[in-house]
A and B are shown apart, each in its own frame.
Chain A
Amino acid sequence: MKKFINDPKNFVPEMLKGLALANPDTLKYVPEYNLIHRADAPNADKVTIIQGSGSGHEPAHVMTVGRGMLDAACPGDVFAAPPVDYVYETTKLLASPKGVLLLVNNYTGDRMAFEMAQEMARADGIRVEMLFIDDDVAVEDSLYTIGRRGVAGNFFVMKAVGAAAEAGADLDEIIRIGEKVNSVTRTMGVALTACTPPAKGSPLFDLGPDEIEIGIGIHGEPGRRRGKLVSADEIVDDILGAVITDLPFTSGDRVALMVNGLGGTPISELYLLYGLAHEKLVSAGITVGRNYVGEYCTSLDMAGASITLVKLDEEIEALLAAPAEIPIRVF
C-alpha cells in the first residue's frame, strides 16, 4: 500500500483537520464527533440538513457542507457508519426550531445508528426526521438484503433538499422533495480495480488484471456480476442500459446525467464515458438537461465510475440549478 498516511487510525481526523484549516471562514470542525459543520449553523430560519455515512467517499459528505447543501456531516471511520453518539450530538448541537433532517444512505449500519440517534434526539424534544437514499439499481434482490444501497445519486437528494432548506421550506416540504428526487434517481457503477482501506493496507477484494465488477458498491461490495474488461462503449451500454430500464427512463424524458469517478479514474476517462453516455441518451430520445462529470461519491482509490440519471421536472431542475457553495467548488 502506498498512501499519504501517518497512522491509519488518524486518517479520518487528519483529513477533517485539513478540510477545516483550508476553509476557516465557512466551516467548523468538532473533533469529538468527526463533525464538520457550516460556521453559520444552526440557523433558526432554516431546517438543518445532516448527513452521516462512513468516510472514504469524499467529497461526500464532509466536502459538501456549505450554503445550499448540507449543514453538517459527521462521518464514521472509513466505510463504517458513524457511532450513534456522533449523530446524536451533531443533531443536538445543530438543531433548529424548524427541525432537523437526517439524510441516510440505505445500509444496515447507517440505518441502525441513525434510528437510535433519532430516538434519543426526539426524547430531548428535537423535531428530527429521516430520509433514506437508495438509488443503486445493482441490488436486485431485496429479499436477501435490507434493500437498495445509497450511492452517488445521494448528491441530487442533498442538492435538492439543501436548496429547499436554504429557501426556507418547512420540514414536511423538504421531506416531500427529498423523497421525490430519490424516487426518480438511479445509479449503477463499475469497478476496474479494488480500493485499499488504510487500516487494512491491502486491496479489499481480488479483481484480476482483465476483470471488472459490474454493479460495484461504494464500499467494494460486489454488484451483479464479474466480467472481462471490454471497450468503454460496451461498458456504458451495460451500465447505462441497466439504469435506463430500471425506472424506466423513456423517450421524451429530460434528465440530469452524472458520470461519477470512484476515486482512481482520471477525469479524462470520465469525460470519455460522459460523451458516450450523452450520445446514447440522445439517440434514445432522452434530453440531457443538466450534466455532472467528476468525483461526487468515491470509494477511496478505486478505479471505476458510476452513471446516475435523474428524471427532471421543473421543480427538481430549479432546485438543482440553485446556487450552492461548498469547499470543492471554490475557485
Chain B
Amino acid sequence: MKTRSIIDTEFVVRSIAETAIENEEAFCELDSVVGDGDFGYSLARGFEKVLEEWDVFDRTDSSIFLKSIAHTITSRIGGTSGPLWGTAFLRASTAVRGRDAVGGADVVAMLRAAIAGIKDRGKSDVGDKTLLDALVPATDALEVAVAQGSSFEKALDEAAKAARVAADATSSLQARRGRASYTGERSIGSPDAGAVAVAIILERLTVEARAR
C-alpha cells in the first residue's frame, strides 16, 4: 500500500508535470522574448517522459521516488532545463532520504536543497534573472507560513503569491545566465520564463491542493 507521503509526493510531481505540458506554448512565448524560445518545448518533452514512465518509478519512499524522477528528467531533457530541474529533484530527494513521513518542514528542506543544487549546477544566484528569483522568495514564504502553523494549502498559497510577485519583478532585472544573458540590457522589461513557470506551477498546485 502507498504511504501518505508517497501519495502527496505523487500529487505534487504530477501537478508539475501536467502544468509543464499544458503550458508548453505559453512558456515558449515567454522564453522567446529574450531567450531562445525552447524552454516550454524542452520542459514539456521531459515531463511527458515522466508521465509515460509514471507507473514504473520506484515508490519505496518519497526520496527514492523523487530520485527516479530526477534520473528521467536529467537523462531525457536537453537544453539547460534537464541538468537544472534534474539536479533540483535529485537534491530534494536526498533532503528526505530514509524518511517515512514528509511534513511541512521537510518540504521547506527539500526546496532549500533544490535551490542549493540549482545554484551549484548553474553557477548562478538570486538576481541573475533565473527561476531562482521566484523559487527562493516562494520558499521563504512557505517557511514562514509553516513555522506559523498554517495549513499546507494556506502555506502553498503564500508561496504562490510570493513567487508571482517575484517573477513579475524579474522584468526589471538584466539576465546574467543562459541564452537571455546575451541580450544584455535588452533583457530588461520582460520577466524571466523560468521564474514565471515557478509561479504558474505553484498557483496551479494551490488550486489543486484545495480541490483535493
Contact = CB atoms under 8 A, between A and B. Distances in A.
Contact of A108 (B28, B86, B177): B177
A76 B75 contact: no
A55 to B, nearest CB: 10
Please indicate which of the listed interface residues B45, B83, B186 has the most CB atoms of chain A within 10 Å of its own CB: B83
Per DSSP, are chain A's interface residues mostly helix, strand or loop, or mixed?
loop
A138 B178 CA distance: 16
Contacts of A2: none
Interface stretch (B9-17, B35-43, B133-141): B35-43
Chain A contact patch, size range: 35 or more
A145 B38 contact: no
A199 B32 CA distance: 12
A217 B184 CA distance: 13
Contact of A83 (B78, B84, B121): B78
A169 to B, nearest CB: 31
B123 to A, nearest CB: 7
Contacts of A143: 176
B154 interface: no
Nearest to B75: A85
A276 B169 CA distance: 47
Interface string B158-194: 0000000000000000111111011110100000000
A141 interface: yes
Contacts of A112: 80, 83-84, 121-122
Given A80-B38, A80-B42, A112-B83, A141 B76 contact: no
Given A199-B38, A204-B32, A221-B36, A107 B179 contact: yes
Per DSSP, are chain B's interface residues mostly helix, strand or loop, or mixed?
helix
Given A222-B182, A222-B186, A205 B32 contact: yes
Contacts of A139: 182
Contact of B179 (A85, A116, A200, A221): A221
Interface string B120-147: 0111000000000000000000000000
Given A54-B78, A109-B83, A200 B174 contact: no
Please indicate which of the listed interface residues B36, B41, B84, B182 has the most CB atoms of chain A within 10 Å of its own CB: B182
Interface string B45-81: 1000000000000000000000000000011111111
Nearest to B78: A76
B96 to A, nearest CB: 22
Nearest to B121: A112
Given A77-B78, A145-B182, A113 B83 contact: yes
A83 B75 contact: yes
B195 to A, nearest CB: 16
27 contacts: A9-B45, A54-B78, A54-B79, A77-B41, A79-B36, A81-B80, A83-B77, A85-B75, A108-B181, A109-B80, A109-B83, A109-B178, A112-B80, A112-B122, A116-B83, A144-B175, A145-B176, A145-B182, A146-B181, A149-B182, A199-B38, A199-B41, A200-B28, A200-B32, A204-B37, A219-B36, A221-B182
Given A84-B83, A146-B123, 7 more contacts: A84-B74, A108-B181, A109-B80, A112-B122, A217-B182, A219-B36, A223-B182
Which 3 pairs between the two chains have the least Cβ-Cβ distance?
A76-B78, A85-B75, A80-B79
